[in-house]
Each structure stands twice: as C-alpha cells, then as structure tokens.
Amino acid sequence: MSKALIIDIKDEKDYENRVLNSKDPVVVSFDTPWCESCNILNLKIKEVVGKYKGKVVMAKVNTNDLPNLVPHNSDTVILPIVAIAKDGKIQSHIEGVQGTDDIKKFVDENVKKNIKRMCICKLKIKFSLNI
C-alpha cells in the first residue's frame, strides 16, 4: 500500500492554497481531535487515498479551530465529514461514519471522473498537434 500525503490545514488561507488551489484532487476530512469516530474514519481515508499513488491528497480540517470551512446542507452538522475538493471548490461531501468500501466508492466516483476528463483533453491536444 502506498503512503498517503496528508496535510493539516492551519487556517483559511492555508485551506485556500493547499486544498482549493491544489492541482490534484483533495480528499478532505472535517473532524475534531477528540472524536474517536473521526480518528477511525481518518485511518480508512488514508488507506483509500494511499491507493491513488500520489495523484490524490488528503487534508485534515479541525472543525473546532475552523468551523467556517465545514460544508453542510442544513443547520445540523454531523461529523465526521469527508469531502472531495477539485477545480477550486468542494465537489461533493458525505457525513457521518463510513465504511472503507463506501469511502472508496465515494472517492472513485468523484476523482476518476476528473482523471478520465484530463486524459480526454490530452488526447484531443495530441490529435490536434498531429493534424
């Protein structure tokens, strides 16, 4: 298993620079250090992200320190939250404890679409250069 690149987000500017402006997709864990479910989920996320061999990054956001960064659909926030950031914004997120297979499916669905689209663009560029 490959080792996942994990970054701890320090503040909102760091989040913007390292998550939203990342050239690679970022799997973001929104959690708290005292949440045991969050700690267990982070181990599962690391395992899944490690399988992407450096093409996906994992970031951790401490929601106690940075509550304004938490994505949510209502007034109630359920931690932990796993989100996918690419193209400068959060694309999708899931709340609550998830199994490893569920996390893998979530990441695959949100990351592989981007990788496939990048490959198509490269083929079009290569094709247009051969004309």
pLDDT greater than 90 at residue 76: no
Q: Answer whether residue 25 is part of any domain.
A: yes
Q: Which of 5, 20, 35, 77 is catalytic?
A: 35
| Residue in the block written with tokens 């490690």 | 50
Beta bridge partners of 81: 30, 95
d(CA 94, CA 107): 11
119 is catalytic: no
Is this model's pTM higher than 0.75 or not? yes
What's the pLDDT band for 3 if we cut at 50, 70, 90? Answer: low
**4, 19, 38, 49: which one is catalytic?**
38
- Residue 46, in any domain of the structure: yes
Tens-place pLDDT, residues 37-48: 999 999 999 999
The parent domain of residue 51 ranges over 5-121
CATH assignment of the domain containing 69: 3.40.30.10
CA atoms within 13 A on the CB side of 21: 7
Q: What is the pLDDT of residues 88-105, one digit of tens each?
A: 999 999 998 899 999 999
**Residue 109 falls inside a structural domain:** yes
- Does residue 126 lie in a domain region? no
Residue 130 within any structural domain of the chain: no
35 is catalytic: yes
User: Alpha-carbon distance 10 to 44, whole Å?
Assistant: 22
Number of domains in the chain: 1
In a domain? residue 115: yes
Q: Tell me the per-residue pLDDT of 4-27, one tens digit each, with 9 for 90 and over.
A: 578 999 999 999 999 999 999 999
Q: Is residue 114 part of a domain?
A: yes
- Asked, for residue 9, whether it belongs to a domain, the answer is yes
